[in-house]
Amino acid sequence: MAIPPPVTGPSPPARPRLVAEELLLYDNDGQSLLDDHALRILIALHQETLTAQEISQRYRIPIAPCYRRIRRLVSLGLISEAGYVTEGRRRPAHLYKSEVDKFTIAYGSGEMTLHLLLRNGTSATTVVRFPPDLGASGTAAPAPLDTAPHPNA
């Protein structure tokens, strides 16, 4: 049985402005902000409202990393709490839903374009330009040349 979240207390603080390029970059620990687990969670929640435990079991994500990714995605405004489930539980479990309406990544000609459109109408687009592959030189590809916001279409 799902019940809506309580309406007591002050409203939650405003979320920071969504910057798409943050999703292509890495956090302080060197972890990609949109790794395999985070993408699985986004896809799962785009289809239906689920608890962390359900996401973990259905999409084979260990529970601790699942909770970490959920906290990160909530802080970025890409998912949100959608209520609680209490049936058959000692304590309520949070339900989560996706706030992403469309999410596209395109790569070509040395550019990666990320475009996000949230259900509330917020849109963010970022283009990351990569230098040409060094290929036969035997050295690793250098870091991206620059990241520049792409005007919204």
Residues 106 and 42 in one domain: no
Residues 22 and 50 in one domain: yes
The boundaries of the domain holding residue 22 are 17-99
Element (H, E) at 130: none
Per-residue model confidence (pLDDT) at position 70: 94
Alpha-carbon distance of 36 to 21, in angstroms, equals 17
Q: How far is CA 7 from CA 10, 71, 74, 142, in A?
A: 9, 21, 19, 50
Residue 69 is assigned to a structural domain of this protein: yes
Local mean pLDDT, 10-residue blocks, the chain (153 residues): 59 54 54 74 91 93 93 88 86 92 84 84 80 54 50 47
Per-residue model confidence (pLDDT) at position 2: 60
Per-residue model confidence (pLDDT) at position 128: 75
DSSP structure class, residue 138: -
Alpha carbon 76 to its chain centroid, in Å, reads 7
Residue 129 is assigned to a structural domain of this protein: yes
How many CB atoms lie under 10 A from the CB of residue 81? 15
